Amino acid sequence: MSGFFEKLKKETEPVWSETTSHRFVNELCAGTVVDPVMGRYLIQDHRFINNFLGLLGAAVNYADKFESRIVLGRFIGMISSDENDYFLRSFEALGISEEARQAPPDSAPTAGLKDIMLEAAKSGSYAATIAVLAVAESVYLEWGCRAPEPYPDNFIYTEWITLHNNDYFIGFVNFLQRELDRVGPNNVDICRDFFTRTVQLEKAFFDDAYA
């Protein structure tokens, strides 16, 4: 596969590969992440949903094609239902109360990811929103597709894998990559900036799970 997305991805090496083959995702796929680490990760990851939905909404607003808006709008529905429901059930299974979820402050990587989502959402640039989305979802698809079968018995691991390795999600990520290939060459600097910073933040976020 070649194109603007692949070009930016290669420019971020070795951080990209360090992210998609991170200790955290390898242990997650094996079902061996200890509960305190998984709980910390989920608490922090759930903090993104508000800003992430705002980023998707901005992408819908800035999109230059009706067909793109339809695809993005459908994904908003999935995040608001299936993915959010997974978080709530996982918190309950891990015995994490609402109070415990709210108590810890945002970690530095969490704050950074929330900020870059908000920055892209306010940028007025469709290319900027797609650059951030393409990284965020492509990283998860890459490790999700590498998860060995059989998946762990515990739904906390298995559902997080399958949410990022299914036909719908694969199609959506391919759409994001095609969109970046389409709009990126006319917005090189802004795409490179948002893409590179997002990759670095994704790795830092996985690192932080073990803090």
CA 95 to chain centre: 25
Note down the domain range covering 148.
Answer: 4-208
- pTM score: 0.96
Q: How far apart are CA 139 and CA 135, in angstroms?
A: 6
Q: Could you tell me the sign of the dihedral formed by the alpha carbons of 26, 72, 109, 154, in that order?
A: negative
Per-residue pLDDT of the chain (211 residues; tens, 9 = 90+): 469 999 999 999 999 999 999 999 999 999 999 999 999 999 999 999 999 999 999 999 999 999 999 999 999 999 998 999 999 999 999 999 999 999 999 999 999 999 999 999 999 999 999 999 999 999 999 999 999 999 999 999 999 999 999 999 999 999 999 999 999 999 999 999 999 999 999 999 999 999 8
- The domain that contains 156 carries what CATH number? 1.20.910.10
Split into its structural domains, the chain has a count of 1
The number of residues making up the chain comes to 211
